[in-house]
Chain A
């Protein structure tokens, strides 16, 4: 079975972003970029399916500027077989991304599509669900365990207060939650090998997809800052303050 994995290039999770002085966005100049952590979990899950003999080929897809090639090379170094870059300088929103992915899926015909549950820049949590709706496919979001059984997929999902298990017809879409797996590190030989793996390039236009933005970001501001309070010396003092000063207990 062919598995398609969507990956996004984002600011590295360990970088603290700063808002630009003109409030037009966050400062991305000379900031370390990386594969979105949830997308990395998606790639890892695809590789594990291949190691189990369930997946036969893993195609990684990324939508973004030319530099997003690096993100695809990361996916290839981890174990994806080939990459597709859908190149655009535009900022594509989730609906646009879902439409691009649908067009790619129509060409590639994967049985399973794995996405991250959200990207850590826009924090939208939409793409997987939107792709599923546009394709008419079933979805298993916030997945913590997936099992392929013939033409069915069983997904254990992280829900409020516990876990839910659903059975989906394939093809289907899975969005990854944190505990689905722990991604491996790419070995140096695999990083070298990844440079020789096929990486195709296309554009939203070539795919016939309109990715015009449906929303306009008017401004981006830093959040209200919270100032540090006081240090208490003892538990007694803490309890006293909470009772008499803050009045919260």
Chain B
């Protein structure tokens, strides 16, 4: 049995999400290979070779994979995937974008966002925004899977010494092209990787008021998130959204500010270790999942909190 794990990266560094995906692969059991598809991505391959428990790193370093376009990368993965029993990716936008294509090219189903491994062909995954957990068995010879990182404890990034092998295949579908990318530069950690997250909801009233949360975040080394209500209201961009339709986070500490606690938001954060809710509405459903609830006006409580950290 062999498992192929897709390395999530930006050509410069290996995304920590990959470490959780390798952890899921270890639970499935079998030889674990990592494939790195990119351009000038040697540093990523080196990092992947050090990951605990990896047998081999396949590196497809070619201009056609520079921006990891789904049309090209899926052809490569479908080609390599034929030799494995499992093909795994993280639940990042990159893997979610191309992995279903790989499954379709291999004529197999994809099992999305698994949170637990029961056996080599049976997995748990949340459905209905996490309001139900399905145990699903794959009937296909090759299992194509995305892994929800919060369900698995990351393997060590150091300590391995996998062999690195170049893959020459250059698959260019020729139907799509990268134009540009606007990445918001931030000193703060990525939402899904942060150990502390502070999120604001509709109660924040506008985008400017998120500056209050940023000040707290700076003191705690936290990432700043938002509820869908705050995104829909145009306060903040969608990539800050925590919830069923946004990012799934499970930090050590999650602070929900002015968030009522809609089902769809809870789906994105309820696996956090400690949850704090600050809301002036005592009846807000968020208090039903919070370890520490503070019924207070956020415009007074948040600056006070910042002052006392």
Chain B contacts for A242, CB-based, 8 A = 253, 274, 276, 292
Chain A residues with CB under 8 A of B103: 95, 126, 130
CA distance A246 to B107 in the complex (A): 48
Contact B132 A161 (CB under 8 A): no
A141 to B180, CA, bound (A): 15
Q: Does B140 belong to the interface (CB within 8 Å)? A: yes
State the CA gap A121–B289 with chains docked (Å). 23
Is A226 part of the contact surface with B, judged by Cβ < 8 Å?
yes
Whether A232 pairs with B74 at a CB distance below 8 angstroms is: no
Residues in chain A near residue B182, CB distance under 8 A: 162-164
Taken together as a complex, chains A and B put the C-alpha atoms of A141 and B220 apart, in Å, by 34
Q: Inside 8 A of A131's CB, which chain B residues have their CB?
A: 104
B128–A178 touching, CB < 8 Å: no
In the complex, chain A residues 198-249 whose Cβ is within 8 Å of any chain B Cβ: 213-223, 226, 228-236, 238-239, 241-242, 246, 248-249
For A76, list chain B residues within 8 Å (CB).
none
Interface size on A, residues (CB 8 A): 79
Residue on A nearest B291 in the bound complex, by CB: A229
Q: Within 8 Å of chain A (Cβ to Cβ): is B113?
A: yes
Measured CB to CB, the residues of A under 8 A from B are 11, 13, 16-17, 19, 26, 93-95, 98, 118, 120-134, 136-139, 141-142, 144, 154, 157-169, 172, 177-179, 213-223, 226, 228-236, 238-239, 241-242, 246, 248-249
Chain B residues packing against A (C-beta within 8 Å): 67, 69-71, 74, 92-94, 96-105, 107-113, 122, 126-140, 173, 175-184, 186, 190, 192, 196, 220, 228, 231-232, 238-239, 241, 244-245, 252-253, 263-264, 270, 273-276, 287-296, 301, 304-305, 308-309
Could you say which of B97, B127, B136 contacts A123, with CB atoms under 8 Å apart?
A: B127
Which residues of chain A are near B128, meaning CB under 8 Å? 11, 17, 26, 120-121, 123
Shortest Cβ distance from residue A60 to the other chain B in the assembled complex, whole angstroms? 22
Most buried by A among B135, B238, B291, B293: B291
Contact of B131 (CB < 8 Å), options: A17, A141, A218 = A17
Say whether A160 contacts B97, CB under 8 Å. Answer: no
Q: In the complex, are the beta carbons of A95 and B305 less than 8 A apart?
A: no
CA A214 to CA B288, docked complex, whole Å: 38
Smallest Cβ-Cβ distance to A229: which chain B residue: B291
Please list 20 pairs of residues, one from A and one from B, whose beta carbons are closer than 8 Å in the complex, sorted by A's number.
Answer: A120-B128, A123-B129, A127-B100, A129-B70, A130-B103, A136-B173, A136-B175, A139-B97, A158-B238, A159-B181, A162-B182, A164-B181, A166-B177, A168-B175, A178-B245, A218-B135, A221-B133, A226-B275, A229-B290, A232-B294
- Cα-based distance from A213 to B102 in the complex (angstroms): 18
Q: How far is the CA of A226 from the CA of B293 in the complex (A)?
A: 14
Residue pair A167, B179 in contact (C-beta under 8 Å): yes
CA of A23 to CA of B97 in the docked complex: distance in angstroms? 31
Cα(A128)–Cα(B110), bound, Å: 13
B-chain residues with CB within 8 Å of residue A154 when the two chains form the complex: 179
Contact B196 A248 (CB under 8 A): yes
In angstroms, Cα B134 to Cα A220, docked, is 4
Residues of A within 8 A of B109 (CB): 93-95, 214-215
Closest 4 pairs (CB-CB, A-B): A229-B291, A129-B100, A214-B109, A133-B101
Most B CB within 10 A of own CB, among A134, A213, A218, A248: A248
Asked if residues A166 and B239 are in contact (CB atoms below 8 Å), the reply is no
Measured CB to CB, the nearest residue on chain A to B112 is: A124
Contacts of A93 on B, CB cut-off 8 Å?
109
- Cross-chain contact of A95 among B67, B104, B113 (Cβ < 8 A): B104
- By a CB distance below 8 angstroms, the chain A residues around B289 are 226, 228
| Docked complex Cα distance between A122 and B154 (Å) | 26
> For B181, what are the chain A residues with a Cβ–Cβ distance below 8 Å?
159, 162-165
Query: Known contacts being A161-B184, A220-B127, A249-B220, is A215 close to B136, with CB within 8 Å?
Result: yes
- Report how far A188 CA is from B179 CA in the complex, Å: 42
The answer to whether A161 and B183 have CB atoms under 8 Å apart is yes
Q: Report how far A125 CA is from B231 CA in the complex, Å.
A: 20
In the complex, A246 Cα to B155 Cα: how many Å? Answer: 25
Q: Is the CB of B196 within 8 A of A169?
A: no
In the complex with contacts A161-B190, A223-B131, A229-B113 CB distance below 8 A: no
Once the chains are docked, how many angstroms separate the CA of A157 from the CA of B93?
Answer: 10
Determine the chain B residues whose CB is within 8 A of the CB of A216 once the complex forms.
136-137, 139
Task: Enumerate chain B residues within 8 angstroms of A213, measured Cβ to Cβ.
Answer: 139
Q: Tell me whether A130 and B180 are in contact (CB under 8 A).
A: no
- The complex places the Cα of A130 from the Cα of B70 at a distance, in Å, of 11
CB neighbours of B293 from chain A (8 A)? 228-232
Whole-angstrom distance from the CB of A43 to the nearest CB of chain B?
18
Interchain CA distance A230-B99 in the complex, whole Å: 43
Across the interface, do A249 and B309 meet the contact criterion of CB distance under 8 Å?
Answer: yes
Instruction: Establish whether residues A166 and B179, one from each chain, have CB atoms under 8 Å apart when the complex forms.
Output: yes
Give A137's nearest chain B residue, CB to CB.
B175
CB of B104 within 8 A of CB of A134, answer: yes
A212 to chain B, nearest CB (A): 9
